[in-house]
Amino acid sequence: MADQQQDPVFQIQRVYLKECSLEQPNSPAILLEQEAPAVDIQLGVEALQAADGIYEVCVTATVTTKVKDKTVFLVEAKQAGIFEIRNLPPEQMNPIMGIACPQIVYPYLRGNVADLITRAGFPPVHLSEINFQSMYEQQQAELQAATPSPIITTA
């Protein structure tokens, strides 16, 4: 009896806001400043296996705005997605979780961050579109550069 090839499965089970915080440590005095704040945005992606064939992929954003050396506000948000991924070749798993899944989750993160900042009384900060393929390829290149090549010696 021949082995039956099972079809690949890629399904979104759920997208949800996993964590979110907003701090205004220098309010109300900082709100009286006339100078435009500097905005710093940091993004990250992480993935873990939650069960057999079920994976959680999170995209995290940290938005810090400062006037001079004082923080106006700090937002940290983690948007997550649960994905069913089965019957894919092992070499496709990392690109799926590092590119495809974050592309699905990220628009929700963008909306939640802009909404939270607006509700806090500030003009919205819109996170830029991200090319997750380029980001993934850059991370892979950095990993390869950091891993020393094996030294081959002959006797």
Which pLDDT tens digit goes with each residue over 27-64? 999 888 888 899 999 999 999 999 999 999 999 999 99
Domain boundaries, given as residue ranges, for the chain: 9-125
* Confidence (pLDDT) at 1: 47
Q: Exposed/middle/buried for 88, CB within 10 Å: 0-12, 13-18, 19+?
A: middle
Per residue of the chain (155 residues), what is the pLDDT tens digit?
A: 445 678 999 999 999 999 999 999 999 998 888 888 999 999 999 999 999 999 999 999 999 999 999 999 999 999 999 999 999 999 999 999 999 999 999 999 999 999 999 999 998 888 999 999 998 998 888 888 887 655 555 55
* Confidence (pLDDT) at 144: 84
62 residue type, one letter: T
Backbone φ and ψ for 140, nearest 5 degrees, come out as -65, -40
CA dihedral 27, 31, 37, 40 (to 10 degrees): 30
| pTM of the predicted structure, to 2 decimals | 0.84
Contact of 105 with 57, CB cutoff 8 Å: yes
Instruction: Tell me the CATH number for domain 9-125.
Output: 3.10.420.10
